[in-house]
Each structure stands twice: as C-alpha cells, then as structure tokens.
Amino acid sequence: MNDDPTKFPNRDDGRETADIAWRSVSYLTAGLLFYGGLGWLIGRKFGHQQIFMAIGLILGISLALYLTYARVSAMDTTMERDTTTNDRRTTQ
C-alpha cells in the first residue's frame, strides 16, 4: 500500500531535487568560508593577504559549483537507472 505511486508522488526524485536545490546554498557558503578563510590565513602568514584571500574565495566558489554540478549529474544517472523500476511499479 505504501508503494502506491499516486500516494507518494515523485518519492525519491522529489526529495533529491529539493535536497540539491537547498544544498547548493550551503555549499556556496561553506566554499567561501573555508577556502576564503584558508586564503586569509595563508596570506596572514606569508604576506600578500588580499591576493591569497581572493584566490581562496574564487577557489571556494568554483569548488562549490563543481560539487553541485557533480551531485546533479550523479542524481540524473540514478534517476535514469531507476526509470525501469518506476515504470514497472506504475504498470503493475
């Protein structure tokens, strides 16, 4: 009964889509904080603080975007793999 597809629309797909949408915000914040902070620390120790911090911030944003992209790609693959299972469930 719990597997009735009309009762639980989208199921995992919906959860994963919502999850990744909100996750991207936390990745961006984490990227800026961690790598920006790391750049700031390195700059504090070795000089050229602004350059190191700028590099850290850009690296942080780039990695956050890459991580979001990688997660969405992984999600697409999972969805494609599960399509057959879903189709079988709907037609039964």
Partner 1 sequence: MSAVVVATESCHLNSGCGFPAPSADIFFLQPYATINFFGMDFTISKAVILVLAVVIIVVGFFLAAARPQKMVPGKLQSLGEQSFLFVRDQIAREVIGKDGDRFVPFLASLFFFVWISNLMGVIPGAQFPIMSSLAFPVSLTLMVYVTYIFLGMKHQGPLKFFTNAAFPPGVPKVMYVLLTPLELLGLLVTRPVTQAIRLFANMFAGHLLITTFTVGAYYLLSPSLIGALGSATSFTVTVVLTGFEMFIQGLQAFIFTLLTAVYIGGSLHAEH
Which residues bind to partner 1, rule: CB under 8 A? 2-3, 7-12, 14-15, 18-19, 22-23, 25-27, 29-31, 33-34, 60, 63-64, 66-67, 70-71, 73-74, 77-78
CB of 91 vs partner 1, minimal distance in Å: 20
Residue 61 to residue 32: CA distance in whole angstroms: 6
Residue 84 to residue 29: CA distance in whole angstroms: 37
| Nearest C-alpha neighbor of 85 from the set 13, 7, 20 | 13
Report how far apart, in Å, the C-alpha atoms of 15 and of each of 10, 21, 27, 34, 89 are. 8, 10, 18, 27, 19
Q: Which residue lies nearer to partner 1 by CB, 54 or 65?
A: 65
CB of 79 vs partner 1, minimal distance in Å: 10
Q: Which residue lies nearer to partner 1 by CB, 50 or 77?
A: 77
**In sequence order, what E strands does the chain have?**
none
Q: Which residue lies nearer to partner 1 by CB, 20 or 54?
A: 20
Q: Which residue lies nearer to partner 1 by CB, 11 or 58?
A: 11
